[in-house]
Amino acid sequence: MDADEIDRPRSRKARSVGEIAATGERGLGGLLARARRLDRIDRALAAALDPRHAPHVRVANVRDGKLILATPVAPIAQRIKMEAPRLLETLRREFRDDFSQLEVMVTPDIPARAE
């Protein structure tokens, strides 16, 4: 590579935000789809939880069949672990996913659920 190649700007076709968002599994489109899916799972989880616990629990991730939850309250984490079979079954029915495991992380802060 010579100096001219390094300094020469690459020509790229300008794309609209809509085109970028529609890139499927990769890029922004995939990220938006994943965020929407996690939000739907989070809302279903909140509906399945004890109303006293729901504000303190969020879906952190879904990876390789594992549903990962976060809460800042250790006793709630223990309660969720005891309810794991029921929660997983409820979410499997609603999302037709094979959630095979549930992990609960105790974290200092969780974001507020969007209304």
Whether this prediction's pTM lies above 0.75 is answered by no
Helix (H, G, I), strand (E, B) or coil at 16: coil
* 80 lies in some domain: yes
Q: State which of 5-9, 30-34, 90-94 shows the largest mean pLDDT.
A: 90-94
* 68 lies in some domain: yes
Average pLDDT over residues 14-40: 75
Residue 40's contacts (CB-CB under 8 Å, 6 or more residues apart) are 95
Tell me the residue range of the domain where 63 lies.
Answer: 15-106
Q: In this predicted structure, what is the pLDDT of residue 101?
A: 93
Supply the mean pLDDT for the chain: 84
* 24 lies in some domain: yes
Q: How many domains does the chain have?
A: 1
* 6 lies in some domain: no
DSSP of 78-114, one letter per residue? HHHHHTHHHHHHHHHHHH-----EEEEEE-S--PPPP
